[in-house]
A and B are shown apart, each in its own frame.
Chain A
Amino acid sequence: MAAGPMKMRASLGAGFTDVRVLMTHPMETGLRKDADGKIVPQHFIQNLTVKMNGKTVIDAQISQAVSRNPVFSFRLKGGAKGDKIEVSWLDNHGESAAIEAAVA
């Protein structure tokens, strides 16, 4: 399975903005064997960045122990309808992806 599209939803909560983001990624640990008994090489997201209106609000480093097709929920202070949220990732192969959405 290759890395693929992302999905995101940003909505207003009680005094915060709730950001829920889904990434399509195999998150291979390097411990798993395929049907032929060969080790599947490590392939996982290492870095995540969350931006609000262009400003970085969360920087994360993650390991191969995050589940396949990672889903994260974050909470940002305040926020208003139309604020722009951007989430991007970078994996150990140098592949990356990003998604942008407005707070609804």
Chain B
Amino acid sequence: MNPLRRTLIAALAFAIARPLAALAAWNKEAFSAKTPGDALKGLGIGNATPSKDLQIEAPEIAENGAVVPIEIASAIAGTSALIVMIEKNPFPLTARFDFKEGALPFVKLNVKMGETSDVRVLAEAGGKYFTATKEIKVTIGGCGG
């Protein structure tokens, strides 16, 4: 391949990759955090108030840690984001959902759990954070194997 063509291809790849990267921000600092505290720091969350208006539907005991179904919903007015953290996983932060106008603060997903752990859910509403936890017991871990 000649140098000009290589430069052109590199420039083109850069031009395509950049807007994608700009659109799709991924909070590397928070997702790389190894403790729930560091993950919160990475997300810029200081205090979170415990709330009964955050619902976590999940099995008490998950036989298979590779697929643990979790359903979360917020009844807190103005909820704009829901965050899922599995406190004892190697990297606790699991997901952050930002809900814009037109979406309800609800999500159901399957997650991997390495061991029995509290699952913490945080909601952002009007610049404030709310939180709830639920313990899920895991019989067979689903991270390595």
Q: Which residues does A use to contact B, with CB under 8 Å?
A: 16, 27, 29, 31-33, 46-47, 49-50, 52, 55-68, 70-78, 90, 94, 96
Inter-subunit contact B104/A76 (CB<8 Å): yes
Inter-subunit contact B96/A61 (CB<8 Å): yes
Q: Using a Cβ cutoff of 8 Å, how many contacts connect chains A and B?
A: 113
A60 and B144 in contact (CB under 8 A), knowing A46-B24, A75-B104, A75-B106? no
Inter-subunit contact A58/B24 (CB<8 Å): no
- A59 CA to B27 CA in the complex, in Å? 13
- A27 CA to B143 CA in the complex, in Å? 11
Contact residue among A27, A64, A65, A75 (Cβ-Cβ distance under 8 Å from B103)? A75
Inter-subunit contact A63/B31 (CB<8 Å): yes
Give the bracket for the number of chain B residues in contact with chain A.
35 or more
Given contacts A66-B95, A67-B68, 14 further A-B contacts (CB under 8 A): A32-B143, A59-B100, A60-B95, A61-B31, A62-B94, A62-B96, A63-B93, A65-B111, A74-B106, A76-B104, A77-B102, A77-B103, A77-B104, A78-B102
